[in-house]
Amino acid sequence: MRSRRRYAVVGAGARAETFVRSLVTAHKEQAELVAFVDVNLKRIAAHNRWLGELGHPAVPAYHADDFARMLDEQRVDTVIVTSMDVTHERYIVGALDADRSVITEKPMTTTAESCTRILQAARRARERAAAAGIPAPTCAVAFNYRYNPTHVKVRELLASGAIGTIGSVHFEWLLDVRHGADYFRRWHRDAANSGGLLVHKSSHHFDLVNWWLSARPARVFAANRLFFYGAGRPHGYDRGYERAYGSPAAKGDPFALDLDRQPRMRELYLETEAEDGYIRDRNVFAPGATIDDDMAVLVQYDSGATMTYHLHAYAPWEGYRLMVNGSRGRLELEVVETAYVAPDAGAASADAGTIASLYPGHSGVENGWTKLTLHPFWQPPSTVEIPEATQEAHGGGDARLTADLFTGSALTVDPLGRRATEVDGALALLTGLAANASSAAGRPYDVAELVDPDLLKES
Protein backbone atom coordinates (compact mmCIF):
# COMPACT_ATOMS: atom_id res chain seq x y z
CA MET A 1 0.00 0.00 0.00
CA ARG A 2 1.43 3.38 -1.01
CA SER A 3 2.10 5.82 1.83
CA ARG A 4 1.38 8.92 -0.26
CA ARG A 5 -1.61 9.66 -2.47
CA ARG A 6 -0.76 10.40 -6.09
CA TYR A 7 -2.17 13.61 -7.58
CA ALA A 8 -2.39 14.91 -11.14
CA VAL A 9 -3.18 18.56 -11.88
CA VAL A 10 -5.33 19.28 -14.94
CA GLY A 11 -5.10 22.88 -16.09
CA ALA A 12 -1.74 24.62 -15.89
CA GLY A 13 -2.99 28.18 -15.47
CA ALA A 14 -2.53 30.56 -12.55
CA ARG A 15 -4.94 28.89 -10.15
CA ALA A 16 -3.01 25.61 -10.29
CA GLU A 17 -0.12 27.26 -8.48
CA THR A 18 -1.91 27.26 -5.11
CA PHE A 19 -2.45 23.49 -5.22
CA VAL A 20 0.97 22.68 -6.67
CA ARG A 21 2.88 24.73 -4.11
CA SER A 22 0.89 23.16 -1.27
CA LEU A 23 1.39 19.62 -2.60
CA VAL A 24 5.17 19.82 -2.94
CA THR A 25 5.94 21.85 0.18
CA ALA A 26 3.57 21.81 3.15
CA HIS A 27 2.06 18.39 2.42
CA LYS A 28 4.80 16.47 0.65
CA GLU A 29 4.78 13.78 3.36
CA GLN A 30 1.17 12.85 2.55
CA ALA A 31 0.86 13.79 -1.13
CA GLU A 32 2.81 13.31 -4.33
CA LEU A 33 2.45 15.33 -7.53
CA VAL A 34 2.86 12.92 -10.44
CA ALA A 35 1.62 14.71 -13.60
CA PHE A 36 0.41 17.89 -15.28
CA VAL A 37 -2.27 17.92 -17.99
CA ASP A 38 -3.09 20.87 -20.26
CA VAL A 39 -3.84 21.78 -23.86
CA ASN A 40 -0.68 23.93 -23.78
CA LEU A 41 2.52 21.99 -23.09
CA LYS A 42 4.61 25.16 -22.85
CA ARG A 43 2.48 26.29 -19.94
CA ILE A 44 3.21 22.98 -18.23
CA ALA A 45 6.91 23.60 -18.85
CA ALA A 46 6.63 26.86 -16.90
CA HIS A 47 5.11 25.06 -13.93
CA ASN A 48 7.79 22.40 -14.11
CA ARG A 49 10.48 25.07 -14.03
CA TRP A 50 8.85 26.62 -10.97
CA LEU A 51 8.86 23.18 -9.34
CA GLY A 52 12.63 23.31 -9.65
CA GLU A 53 12.66 26.57 -7.69
CA LEU A 54 10.91 24.67 -4.91
CA GLY A 55 13.45 21.87 -5.01
CA HIS A 56 11.08 19.42 -6.70
CA PRO A 57 11.84 17.52 -9.91
CA ALA A 58 9.77 18.06 -13.03
CA VAL A 59 6.79 15.74 -13.45
CA PRO A 60 5.46 14.17 -16.67
CA ALA A 61 3.51 16.47 -18.99
CA TYR A 62 0.43 15.21 -20.85
CA HIS A 63 -1.73 16.85 -23.46
CA ALA A 64 -5.42 17.05 -22.50
CA ASP A 65 -6.23 14.47 -25.19
CA ASP A 66 -4.16 11.94 -23.24
CA PHE A 67 -5.99 12.39 -19.94
CA ALA A 68 -7.31 8.81 -19.71
CA ARG A 69 -3.91 7.34 -20.53
CA MET A 70 -2.29 9.55 -17.92
CA LEU A 71 -4.59 8.21 -15.18
CA ASP A 72 -3.35 4.67 -15.72
CA GLU A 73 0.29 5.37 -16.54
CA GLN A 74 0.77 7.51 -13.45
CA ARG A 75 -1.48 5.41 -11.18
CA VAL A 76 -3.34 8.54 -10.13
CA ASP A 77 -5.44 8.49 -6.95
CA THR A 78 -6.87 12.01 -7.18
CA VAL A 79 -7.28 14.47 -10.04
CA ILE A 80 -7.14 18.21 -9.28
CA VAL A 81 -9.11 20.17 -11.88
CA THR A 82 -8.07 23.80 -12.41
CA SER A 83 -8.75 24.11 -16.14
CA MET A 84 -11.16 26.45 -17.93
CA ASP A 85 -14.57 26.18 -16.26
CA VAL A 86 -16.38 24.82 -19.30
CA THR A 87 -13.94 21.88 -19.45
CA HIS A 88 -14.36 20.75 -15.82
CA GLU A 89 -17.05 18.21 -16.59
CA ARG A 90 -14.83 16.32 -19.02
CA TYR A 91 -12.17 15.65 -16.39
CA ILE A 92 -14.46 15.21 -13.38
CA VAL A 93 -16.64 12.64 -15.13
CA GLY A 94 -13.60 10.98 -16.72
CA ALA A 95 -11.91 10.60 -13.35
CA LEU A 96 -15.01 9.35 -11.52
CA ASP A 97 -15.79 6.86 -14.27
CA ALA A 98 -12.23 5.57 -13.84
CA ASP A 99 -12.86 5.31 -10.08
CA ARG A 100 -10.48 8.14 -9.16
CA SER A 101 -11.26 10.88 -6.68
CA VAL A 102 -11.54 14.52 -7.76
CA ILE A 103 -10.79 17.93 -6.30
CA THR A 104 -12.21 20.63 -8.54
CA GLU A 105 -11.92 24.38 -8.52
CA LYS A 106 -15.16 26.28 -8.34
CA PRO A 107 -17.44 26.52 -10.17
CA MET A 108 -17.86 22.77 -10.49
CA THR A 109 -19.07 23.30 -14.06
CA THR A 110 -21.02 25.85 -16.12
CA THR A 111 -24.36 24.38 -17.22
CA ALA A 112 -27.25 22.44 -15.74
CA GLU A 113 -26.68 19.63 -18.24
CA SER A 114 -23.03 19.16 -17.30
CA CYS A 115 -23.94 19.43 -13.61
CA THR A 116 -26.40 16.56 -14.09
CA ARG A 117 -23.74 14.42 -15.76
CA ILE A 118 -21.31 15.02 -12.88
CA LEU A 119 -23.90 14.10 -10.26
CA GLN A 120 -24.77 10.97 -12.21
CA ALA A 121 -21.09 9.98 -12.51
CA ALA A 122 -20.58 10.41 -8.77
CA ARG A 123 -23.62 8.23 -8.09
CA ARG A 124 -22.36 5.52 -10.48
CA ALA A 125 -18.96 5.53 -8.79
CA ARG A 126 -20.54 5.10 -5.35
CA GLU A 127 -22.71 2.26 -6.60
CA ARG A 128 -19.72 0.43 -8.11
CA ALA A 129 -17.75 0.86 -4.91
CA ALA A 130 -20.63 -0.37 -2.77
CA ALA A 131 -21.03 -3.46 -4.97
CA ALA A 132 -17.30 -4.18 -4.65
CA GLY A 133 -17.22 -3.46 -0.93
CA ILE A 134 -14.50 -0.80 -1.25
CA PRO A 135 -14.32 2.93 -0.38
CA ALA A 136 -15.94 5.11 -3.02
CA PRO A 137 -14.04 7.85 -4.87
CA THR A 138 -15.01 11.34 -3.77
CA CYS A 139 -15.60 14.65 -5.51
CA ALA A 140 -14.59 17.72 -3.48
CA VAL A 141 -15.19 21.31 -4.57
CA ALA A 142 -12.53 23.81 -3.48
CA PHE A 143 -14.69 26.36 -1.70
CA ASN A 144 -11.81 28.00 0.17
CA TYR A 145 -14.06 30.75 1.56
CA ARG A 146 -15.50 28.18 3.98
CA TYR A 147 -12.05 28.04 5.60
CA ASN A 148 -11.60 31.80 6.08
CA PRO A 149 -11.65 32.46 9.87
CA THR A 150 -14.10 35.33 9.43
CA HIS A 151 -16.57 33.11 7.58
CA VAL A 152 -16.07 30.34 10.11
CA LYS A 153 -16.98 32.76 12.91
CA VAL A 154 -20.17 33.76 11.06
CA ARG A 155 -21.09 30.10 10.71
CA GLU A 156 -20.49 29.47 14.42
CA LEU A 157 -22.54 32.48 15.50
CA LEU A 158 -25.50 31.65 13.28
CA ALA A 159 -25.44 27.96 14.23
CA SER A 160 -25.35 28.89 17.92
CA GLY A 161 -28.58 30.85 17.59
CA ALA A 162 -26.92 34.20 18.35
CA ILE A 163 -29.59 35.99 16.30
CA GLY A 164 -32.27 33.31 16.50
CA THR A 165 -34.06 31.88 13.48
CA ILE A 166 -32.86 33.50 10.28
CA GLY A 167 -35.43 35.42 8.28
CA SER A 168 -33.39 37.22 5.61
CA VAL A 169 -29.92 38.00 4.29
CA HIS A 170 -28.53 40.96 2.39
CA PHE A 171 -25.18 40.31 0.72
CA GLU A 172 -23.32 42.88 -1.36
CA TRP A 173 -20.03 42.00 -3.03
CA LEU A 174 -17.83 44.59 -4.74
CA LEU A 175 -15.04 43.70 -7.18
CA ASP A 176 -12.76 46.66 -7.77
CA VAL A 177 -11.52 48.00 -11.10
CA ARG A 178 -8.38 45.85 -10.86
CA HIS A 179 -9.90 42.50 -9.91
CA GLY A 180 -13.31 42.95 -11.55
CA ALA A 181 -11.69 44.23 -14.72
CA ASP A 182 -9.51 41.14 -14.95
CA TYR A 183 -12.49 38.91 -15.77
CA PHE A 184 -12.93 41.00 -18.91
CA ARG A 185 -9.31 40.54 -20.02
CA ARG A 186 -9.30 36.74 -20.05
CA TRP A 187 -11.39 33.76 -21.13
CA HIS A 188 -13.99 34.50 -18.48
CA ARG A 189 -15.34 37.37 -20.63
CA ASP A 190 -17.08 34.76 -22.82
CA ALA A 191 -20.10 33.29 -21.04
CA ALA A 192 -19.68 30.08 -23.04
CA ASN A 193 -16.40 29.49 -21.17
CA SER A 194 -17.30 30.64 -17.66
CA GLY A 195 -21.08 30.83 -17.32
CA GLY A 196 -20.69 34.48 -16.33
CA LEU A 197 -19.78 35.99 -12.98
CA LEU A 198 -22.88 34.65 -11.21
CA VAL A 199 -21.51 31.19 -11.95
CA HIS A 200 -17.75 31.72 -11.82
CA LYS A 201 -17.31 34.24 -9.02
CA SER A 202 -20.62 34.17 -7.15
CA SER A 203 -20.57 30.40 -6.66
CA HIS A 204 -18.22 31.21 -3.73
CA HIS A 205 -20.79 33.57 -2.25
CA PHE A 206 -23.85 31.43 -2.88
CA ASP A 207 -22.07 28.48 -1.29
CA LEU A 208 -21.27 30.55 1.78
CA VAL A 209 -24.94 31.44 2.27
CA ASN A 210 -26.04 27.83 1.74
CA TRP A 211 -23.47 26.81 4.36
CA TRP A 212 -24.18 29.62 6.82
CA LEU A 213 -27.93 29.02 6.72
CA SER A 214 -27.80 25.20 6.39
CA ALA A 215 -30.34 25.76 3.63
CA ARG A 216 -30.79 25.12 -0.07
CA PRO A 217 -31.87 27.54 -2.80
CA ALA A 218 -35.39 26.89 -4.05
CA ARG A 219 -36.44 29.85 -6.23
CA VAL A 220 -34.39 32.64 -7.82
CA PHE A 221 -35.23 35.94 -9.52
CA ALA A 222 -32.59 38.20 -11.06
CA ALA A 223 -31.90 41.22 -13.24
CA ASN A 224 -28.42 41.37 -14.76
CA ARG A 225 -26.70 43.59 -17.29
CA LEU A 226 -23.37 44.53 -18.82
CA PHE A 227 -23.07 48.17 -17.81
CA PHE A 228 -19.43 49.24 -17.53
CA TYR A 229 -17.08 46.93 -19.46
CA GLY A 230 -17.30 45.81 -23.08
CA ALA A 231 -17.53 47.84 -26.27
CA GLY A 232 -19.40 51.05 -26.93
CA ARG A 233 -19.61 52.45 -23.41
CA PRO A 234 -20.06 56.24 -23.18
CA HIS A 235 -17.71 56.77 -20.21
CA GLY A 236 -14.64 57.41 -22.39
CA TYR A 237 -12.18 54.94 -20.82
CA ASP A 238 -11.71 52.83 -23.96
CA ARG A 239 -8.46 53.67 -25.77
CA GLY A 240 -9.30 51.49 -28.75
CA TYR A 241 -6.57 48.82 -28.59
CA GLU A 242 -7.25 45.07 -28.78
CA ARG A 243 -4.69 43.97 -26.20
CA ALA A 244 -2.20 45.73 -23.93
CA TYR A 245 1.05 44.03 -25.01
CA GLY A 246 2.79 45.93 -27.78
CA SER A 247 0.14 48.65 -27.91
CA PRO A 248 1.24 52.29 -27.50
CA ALA A 249 -2.36 53.20 -26.65
CA ALA A 250 -2.23 50.95 -23.59
CA LYS A 251 0.68 52.83 -22.02
CA GLY A 252 -0.52 54.46 -18.83
CA ASP A 253 -4.00 52.95 -19.10
CA PRO A 254 -5.10 51.99 -15.55
CA PHE A 255 -7.23 49.22 -17.05
CA ALA A 256 -4.31 47.61 -18.91
CA LEU A 257 -2.47 44.53 -17.63
CA ASP A 258 1.26 44.75 -18.32
CA LEU A 259 2.28 41.11 -18.77
CA ASP A 260 5.82 42.06 -19.76
CA ARG A 261 6.51 43.57 -16.32
CA GLN A 262 5.33 40.53 -14.38
CA PRO A 263 7.83 37.68 -14.88
CA ARG A 264 5.64 34.76 -13.84
CA MET A 265 2.67 35.90 -15.89
CA ARG A 266 4.91 36.63 -18.86
CA GLU A 267 6.30 33.08 -18.71
CA LEU A 268 2.93 31.43 -18.16
CA TYR A 269 0.91 33.36 -20.74
CA LEU A 270 2.82 35.74 -23.02
CA GLU A 271 5.55 33.24 -23.89
CA THR A 272 3.07 30.40 -24.48
CA GLU A 273 0.60 32.16 -26.79
CA ALA A 274 1.86 30.48 -29.95
CA GLU A 275 0.74 27.09 -28.61
CA ASP A 276 -2.98 27.80 -28.35
CA GLY A 277 -3.56 31.46 -29.25
CA TYR A 278 -4.82 32.40 -25.78
CA ILE A 279 -4.43 36.13 -25.06
CA ARG A 280 -4.37 37.03 -21.37
CA ASP A 281 -4.30 40.85 -21.55
CA ARG A 282 -7.25 41.91 -23.70
CA ASN A 283 -8.65 45.40 -23.49
CA VAL A 284 -11.54 45.19 -21.02
CA PHE A 285 -13.55 47.44 -23.35
CA ALA A 286 -12.88 45.39 -26.48
CA PRO A 287 -15.81 43.77 -28.32
CA GLY A 288 -16.76 40.20 -27.47
CA ALA A 289 -17.65 40.40 -23.77
CA THR A 290 -20.80 38.35 -23.23
CA ILE A 291 -20.89 38.32 -19.42
CA ASP A 292 -22.57 40.84 -17.11
CA ASP A 293 -20.87 43.17 -14.63
CA ASP A 294 -23.85 44.37 -12.55
CA MET A 295 -26.17 41.71 -11.11
CA ALA A 296 -29.09 41.85 -8.70
CA VAL A 297 -30.47 38.55 -7.34
CA LEU A 298 -33.29 37.52 -5.03
CA VAL A 299 -33.15 33.97 -3.62
CA GLN A 300 -35.76 32.06 -1.62
CA TYR A 301 -34.41 29.09 0.38
CA ASP A 302 -36.09 25.87 1.43
CA SER A 303 -35.92 27.14 5.03
CA GLY A 304 -38.17 30.06 4.12
CA ALA A 305 -35.35 32.60 4.43
CA THR A 306 -34.66 35.01 1.58
CA MET A 307 -31.51 36.72 0.29
CA THR A 308 -31.00 39.90 -1.68
CA TYR A 309 -27.60 39.77 -3.39
CA HIS A 310 -25.74 42.24 -5.57
CA LEU A 311 -22.45 41.74 -7.41
CA HIS A 312 -20.82 44.91 -8.71
CA ALA A 313 -17.65 44.31 -10.78
CA TYR A 314 -16.48 47.90 -11.39
CA ALA A 315 -16.15 49.32 -7.86
CA PRO A 316 -13.50 51.78 -6.61
CA TRP A 317 -12.79 49.50 -3.62
CA GLU A 318 -13.04 45.77 -3.02
CA GLY A 319 -14.84 43.88 -0.31
CA TYR A 320 -18.28 42.88 0.87
CA ARG A 321 -21.08 43.62 3.29
CA LEU A 322 -23.27 40.96 4.85
CA MET A 323 -26.38 41.56 6.94
CA VAL A 324 -28.30 38.64 8.46
CA ASN A 325 -31.65 39.32 10.15
CA GLY A 326 -32.99 36.89 12.74
CA SER A 327 -35.72 36.49 15.32
CA ARG A 328 -33.36 37.65 18.10
CA GLY A 329 -31.32 40.31 16.35
CA ARG A 330 -29.00 41.06 13.46
CA LEU A 331 -25.45 40.17 12.39
CA GLU A 332 -23.44 42.62 10.29
CA LEU A 333 -20.12 41.95 8.59
CA GLU A 334 -18.05 44.48 6.65
CA VAL A 335 -14.84 43.39 4.94
CA VAL A 336 -12.69 45.89 3.05
CA GLU A 337 -9.98 44.04 1.13
CA THR A 338 -8.79 47.02 -0.90
CA ALA A 339 -9.57 50.59 0.16
CA TYR A 340 -8.74 51.90 -3.32
CA VAL A 341 -6.93 50.87 -6.50
CA ALA A 342 -3.71 52.57 -7.53
CA PRO A 343 -3.69 53.71 -11.19
CA ASP A 344 -0.69 51.46 -11.99
CA ALA A 345 -2.34 48.34 -10.50
CA GLY A 346 -1.71 46.34 -13.68
CA ALA A 347 2.02 46.46 -12.99
CA ALA A 348 2.00 46.67 -9.20
CA SER A 349 2.84 43.00 -8.64
CA ALA A 350 5.86 42.75 -10.90
CA ASP A 351 8.05 41.29 -8.17
CA ALA A 352 5.45 39.03 -6.61
CA GLY A 353 6.31 35.43 -5.83
CA THR A 354 2.99 34.08 -7.01
CA ILE A 355 0.56 35.08 -9.74
CA ALA A 356 -2.25 35.32 -7.20
CA SER A 357 -0.63 38.48 -5.85
CA LEU A 358 -2.24 40.38 -8.72
CA TYR A 359 -5.51 40.26 -6.82
CA PRO A 360 -6.78 41.98 -3.66
CA GLY A 361 -6.13 40.23 -0.39
CA HIS A 362 -2.96 38.56 -1.73
CA SER A 363 -0.28 41.23 -2.04
CA GLY A 364 -0.46 42.55 1.51
CA VAL A 365 -0.06 46.19 0.41
CA GLU A 366 -3.71 47.24 0.66
CA ASN A 367 -5.12 48.86 3.77
CA GLY A 368 -8.25 46.90 4.59
CA TRP A 369 -10.23 45.89 7.64
CA THR A 370 -12.84 43.48 8.89
CA LYS A 371 -15.64 44.33 11.31
CA LEU A 372 -18.13 41.76 12.61
CA THR A 373 -20.95 43.09 14.82
CA LEU A 374 -23.87 41.51 16.66
CA HIS A 375 -26.98 43.61 17.25
CA PRO A 376 -29.23 41.72 19.70
CA PHE A 377 -32.68 43.04 20.53
CA TRP A 378 -32.80 45.42 23.52
CA GLN A 379 -29.02 45.34 24.05
CA PRO A 380 -26.08 47.43 22.86
CA PRO A 381 -24.26 46.07 19.78
CA SER A 382 -21.04 44.15 20.35
CA THR A 383 -17.99 43.73 18.13
CA VAL A 384 -16.91 40.11 17.65
CA GLU A 385 -13.18 39.41 17.60
CA ILE A 386 -11.73 37.15 14.91
CA PRO A 387 -8.34 36.19 16.40
CA GLU A 388 -7.21 33.85 13.62
CA ALA A 389 -7.66 36.25 10.70
CA THR A 390 -4.46 36.53 8.62
CA GLN A 391 -3.11 38.50 5.69
CA GLU A 392 -2.62 35.28 3.71
CA ALA A 393 -4.58 34.51 0.53
CA HIS A 394 -8.33 34.48 1.20
CA GLY A 395 -7.67 35.19 4.88
CA GLY A 396 -5.72 31.95 5.20
CA GLY A 397 -8.52 29.99 3.57
CA ASP A 398 -6.30 28.53 0.84
CA ALA A 399 -3.83 27.05 3.33
CA ARG A 400 -6.57 25.60 5.52
CA LEU A 401 -8.42 24.16 2.54
CA THR A 402 -5.38 22.41 1.10
CA ALA A 403 -4.38 21.11 4.53
CA ASP A 404 -7.83 19.57 4.87
CA LEU A 405 -7.68 18.05 1.38
CA PHE A 406 -4.13 16.72 1.42
CA THR A 407 -3.44 15.53 4.97
CA GLY A 408 -6.12 12.89 5.27
CA SER A 409 -8.28 14.97 7.60
CA ALA A 410 -11.13 14.29 5.20
CA LEU A 411 -11.51 11.05 7.12
CA THR A 412 -12.31 12.93 10.34
CA VAL A 413 -15.53 14.58 11.46
CA ASP A 414 -15.76 18.35 10.92
CA PRO A 415 -18.55 19.81 13.09
CA LEU A 416 -18.63 22.88 10.84
CA GLY A 417 -19.15 20.82 7.69
CA ARG A 418 -16.57 22.76 5.69
CA ARG A 419 -15.71 19.98 3.25
CA ALA A 420 -17.80 20.59 0.13
CA THR A 421 -19.07 17.71 -2.03
CA GLU A 422 -20.37 17.62 -5.57
CA VAL A 423 -23.85 18.27 -4.17
CA ASP A 424 -22.62 21.45 -2.48
CA GLY A 425 -20.94 22.42 -5.74
CA ALA A 426 -24.18 21.83 -7.61
CA LEU A 427 -26.29 23.89 -5.19
CA ALA A 428 -23.95 26.88 -5.44
CA LEU A 429 -23.81 26.56 -9.22
CA LEU A 430 -27.57 26.21 -9.58
CA THR A 431 -28.21 29.49 -7.77
CA GLY A 432 -26.15 31.28 -10.41
CA LEU A 433 -27.61 29.31 -13.29
CA ALA A 434 -31.15 29.98 -12.10
CA ALA A 435 -30.30 33.69 -11.76
CA ASN A 436 -28.95 33.81 -15.31
CA ALA A 437 -32.02 31.98 -16.61
CA SER A 438 -34.33 34.27 -14.66
CA SER A 439 -32.69 37.42 -15.97
CA ALA A 440 -32.92 36.17 -19.55
CA ALA A 441 -36.54 35.02 -19.25
CA GLY A 442 -37.83 37.82 -17.03
CA ARG A 443 -39.42 35.41 -14.54
CA PRO A 444 -38.51 33.54 -11.36
CA TYR A 445 -36.75 30.20 -11.84
CA ASP A 446 -37.04 27.20 -9.56
CA VAL A 447 -33.82 25.26 -9.04
CA ALA A 448 -35.83 22.08 -9.63
CA GLU A 449 -36.39 23.23 -13.23
CA LEU A 450 -32.68 22.84 -13.91
CA VAL A 451 -31.60 19.60 -12.22
CA ASP A 452 -33.57 16.57 -10.99
CA PRO A 453 -33.90 17.07 -7.20
CA ASP A 454 -33.27 13.34 -6.69
CA LEU A 455 -29.68 13.88 -7.84
CA LEU A 456 -29.20 16.49 -5.11
CA LYS A 457 -29.80 14.06 -2.29
CA GLU A 458 -26.76 13.51 -0.10
CA SER A 459 -25.19 10.06 -0.33
Dihedral pair phi/psi, residue 318, rounded to 5°: -120, 135
Of 30-34, 212-216, 407-411, which range is least confident? Answer: 407-411
Instruction: Give 250-289 pLDDT, tens digit per residue.
Output: 999 999 999 999 899 999 999 999 999 999 999 999 999 9
Average pLDDT value for residue range 142-165:
96
Integer Cα distance of 156 and 415 in angstroms: 10
Contacts with 176 (C-beta within 8 Å, 6 or more apart), sequence order:
315, 316, 317, 318, 338, 341, 360
pLDDT band, very low/low/confident/very high, at 408 (cuts 50, 70, 90)? low
* pLDDT at 356 > cutoff 50: no
Instruction: Give 418-445 pLDDT, tens digit per residue.
Output: 999 999 999 999 999 999 999 999 999 9
Integer Cα distance of 42 and 217 in angstroms: 42
Let me know whether 110 and 181 are in one domain.
Answer: no
Across the chain, mean pLDDT equals: 93
150 with 115: CB under 8 angstroms? Answer: no
**CATH classification at residue 205:** 3.30.360.10
Residue 111 is predicted with a pLDDT of 98
Within-domain flag for 370: yes
Residue at which a domain ends, from 99, 117, 142: 142
Let me know whether 25 and 135 are in one domain.
Answer: yes
Let me know whether 80 and 212 are in one domain.
Answer: no
Average pLDDT value for residue range 80-97:
98
Q: How many domains does the chain have?
A: 2
Share above pLDDT 90 across residues of the chain, in percent, rounded to a whole number? 87
Residue at which a domain ends, from 116, 142, 168: 142
Q: Which DSSP letter does residue 282 get?
A: B
* pLDDT at 62 > cutoff 60: yes
Average pLDDT value for residue range 322-349:
88
**CATH classification at residue 29:** 3.40.50.720
Let me know whether 185 and 129 are in one domain.
Answer: no
Within-domain flag for 246: no
Let me know whether 336 and 349 are in one domain.
Answer: yes
Let me know whether 171 and 137 are in one domain.
Answer: no
Residue 394 is predicted with a pLDDT of 56
Within-domain flag for 270: no
The gap from C-alpha 203 to its chain's centroid, in whole angstroms, comes to: 7
Comparison of pLDDT for 364 and 227, the residue scoring more:
227
Instruction: Give 171-210 pLDDT, tens digit per residue.
Output: 999 999 999 999 999 999 999 999 999 999 999 999 999 9
Let me know whether 193 and 52 are in one domain.
Answer: no
Let me know whether 105 and 153 are in one domain.
Answer: no
Domain containing 318 equals 144-229+289-394+418-455
Residue at which a domain ends, from 142, 166, 184: 142
In what helix (H) or strand (E) does residue 60 lie, and over which residues does it extend?
none
* pLDDT at 387 > cutoff 90: no
Residue 390 is predicted with a pLDDT of 52
